[in-house]
């Protein structure tokens, strides 16, 4: 019930932001009705495919500090890949590597894999319990992943096992 209320509040907040109508009662009523319909449909879908287990937050508030770091890494990787594309010799050395992620929750592993893919020059090609395969554009990018700096930072985001 609490989850449904939370979902409704998020939906209505998004509706208000996107529509920009704050003082037209008729339109606000329509907004309330459509949010209620969405929550009802979500509730019906969840009976078929319960996801409550997975949606419980397993990530601490430290993620606020992780985002700027990730952004900086993305900028650095972008500059590196852009330089390589503009170089007439195209100095690339594609590499496939296998990593062993140390995160214990599924959420942590997904954040790690998504961070790798979001950084240009490395794309996650396979992800399962203890294996993560990465295709890297250059050998240097692969080696910097093997050092495991990002892996440690994502693992530090997770809440301890309960």
Partner 1 sequence: MNGLIDGLSGLALLAGVFFMLVGSAGLLRMPDFYTRMHAAGITDTLGAGLVLLGLMLQGGWTLVTVKLLLILAFLWLTSPTASHALVRAALSDPGNPRPLLHPHLPSSSTEITAR
- As a dihedral over the C-alpha atoms of residue 38, residue 43, residue 49, residue 52, rounded to 10 degrees, the angle is 110
Which residue in 92, 105, 148, 159 binds partner 1 (CB under 8 A)? 92
96 forms part of the interface with partner 1 (CB under 8 A) = yes
Q: Which stretch binds partner 1 (CB under 8 A): 32-40, 48-56, 72-80, 150-158?
A: 72-80
Q: How far is the CB of 60 from partner 1 (least distance, A)?
A: 20
31 forms part of the interface with partner 1 (CB under 8 A) = no
Q: Which stretch binds partner 1 (CB under 8 A): 42-50, 52-60, 89-97, 153-161?
A: 89-97
List the one residue out of 127, 115, 98, 117 whose CA is nearest residue 155: 115
28 forms part of the interface with partner 1 (CB under 8 A) = no
Q: Which stretch binds partner 1 (CB under 8 A): 2-10, 37-45, 84-92, 148-156?
A: 84-92
118 forms part of the interface with partner 1 (CB under 8 A) = yes
> Quick check: 103 and 61 in contact, CB under 8 A?
no
Which residue in 49, 57, 86, 161 binds partner 1 (CB under 8 A)? 86
**DSSP letter string over 34-82?**
HHHHHHHHHHHHHHHS--HHHHS--B-TTHHHHHHHHHHHHHHHHHHHH
List the one residue out of 149, 144, 91 whose CA is nearest residue 122: 144
Q: Which stretch binds partner 1 (CB under 8 A): 27-35, 56-64, 75-83, 150-158?
A: 75-83
List the one residue out of 127, 133, 147 whose CA is nearest residue 73: 147
| Phi-psi domain of 32 (left: phi exceeds 0; alpha: psi -120 through 50; beta: other) | alpha
Which residue in 11, 35, 39, 81 binds partner 1 (CB under 8 A)? 81
114 forms part of the interface with partner 1 (CB under 8 A) = yes
């Amino acid at each position: 019930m609490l989850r449904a209320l939370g979902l409704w509040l998020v939906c209505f907040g998004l509706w208000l932001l996107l529509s920009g109508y704050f003082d037209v009662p008729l339109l606000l009523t329509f907004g309330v009705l459509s949010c209620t319909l969405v929550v009802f449909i979500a509730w019906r879908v969840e009976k078929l495919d319960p996801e409550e287990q997975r949606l419980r937050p397993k990530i601490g508030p430290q993620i606020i500090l992780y985002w700027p770091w990730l952004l900086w890494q993305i900028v650095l990787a972008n500059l590196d890949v852009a330089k390589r594309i503009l170089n007439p010799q195209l100095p690339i050395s594609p590499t496939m590597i296998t990593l062993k992620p140390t995160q214990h929750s599924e959420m942590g592993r997904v954040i790690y894999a998504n961070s790798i893919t979001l950084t240009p020059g490395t794309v996650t090609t396979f992800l399962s319990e203890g294996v993560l395969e990465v295709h890297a554009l250059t050998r240097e990018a692969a080696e910097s992943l093997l050092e495991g700096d990002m892996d440690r930072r994502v693992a530090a985001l997770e809440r301890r096992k309960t």
